[in-house]
Amino acid sequence: MLQAIAEEYITFSSGALRLQGVLAYPEETAPERAILMCSPHPHFAGDMNNNVICAIARRLAVHAAVLRFDYRGVGDSEIDLDSDLSVFDYWTEVEEKKDYRDAIEDVESAATVLKHAAESFDVELSIVGYSFGAATSMMFAHKAGNVHKMVTIAPPLGKVSFEFLFRQPPGLPDSKPSLHLVGKKDFLYSEERVEAFRRMLGPAARVVVLESADHFFRGDEDQLAQKVDEFLRESPGSVR
């Protein structure tokens, strides 16, 4: 039987903006780790209440401090735009120009808040990203030296270039444990894209193709959450 969890709405700063998130954690025990959740693109059900994000966050919160949040302009998170630019148009430009700097700033700010919230427990930080969030989480983790493990779900292969994985910053070995879950029925799936992605990843990466899954995982949330949970709780050196 799963233990009870607590959930708290929080606000935090990303530059001059105030973002909203939900911090979840076990009610009766100390968290074993801290986990940041990164949501899909706002045009594609991309908020912190997304079915995949919520299912995984609540599963992990049984034993971890888990933060999910809304990017700027999503939900009650603030955004500062020129009067002639709508939030919808802003996120359209992000997608078209592949300019993820603002989104990565939001991820970095959320990670800082989560680390502060969990610092009294001296736990490691891991990150989980879904779809667009898979890209933002990998871009953040690639430059951050304090991410212990990483999980991506339905990474947007063919839409986002992951060539930055070849440009490894100093001090970040390619042995960071990571799990990448790809649905074979995903509209972005192809064997060529998966193999190219696999080649970009380090030797500690595990790429798993889920035969019956599509991009949205409706009805498969619990099974997906279990896979993520099991990976994050594995001991070092058990990558298969």
Q: What is the CATH number of the domain that holds 202?
A: 3.40.50.1820
Please tell me the distance from the alpha carbon of residue 160 to that of residue 135, in angstroms, as a whole number.
7
Mean pLDDT of all residues in 134-140: 94
Count Cβ atoms below 10 Å from residue 203 Cβ, excluding itself.
8
* 3-class DSSP state of 110: helix
Q: Note whether residue 75 is domain-resident.
A: yes
Q: Note whether residue 46 is domain-resident.
A: yes
The range of the structural domain enclosing residue 49 comes to 5-233
Q: What is the domain count for the chain? A: 1
In eight-state DSSP terms, residue 100 is: -
Question: Which strand (E) or helix (H) includes residue 97?
Answer: helix 87-97
Contact 46, 133 (CB under 8 A): yes
pLDDT, tens only, 74-87:
999 999 999 999 99
Closest CA to 200 of 146, 151, 157: 157
DSSP strand E in the chain: where? Answer: 5-14, 17-26, 33-38, 64-69, 125-130, 147-153, 178-183, 205-210
Higher-pLDDT residue of 70, 143? 70
Q: Note whether residue 240 is domain-resident.
A: no
Predicted TM-score (pTM) of the model is 0.92
Q: Note whether residue 59 is domain-resident.
A: yes
Q: Which of 128-137, 140-149, 211-220 shows the lowest mean pLDDT across its residues?
A: 140-149
Mean pLDDT of all residues in 11-25: 97
List, in order, residues 6 or more apart from 235 with CB less than 8 Å away: none
Contact 202, 176 (CB under 8 A): yes
Q: Note whether residue 143 is domain-resident.
A: yes
Q: Note whether residue 64 is domain-resident.
A: yes
State the pLDDT confidence band at 237, using cuts at 50, 70 and 90: very low
Q: Note whether residue 216 is domain-resident.
A: yes
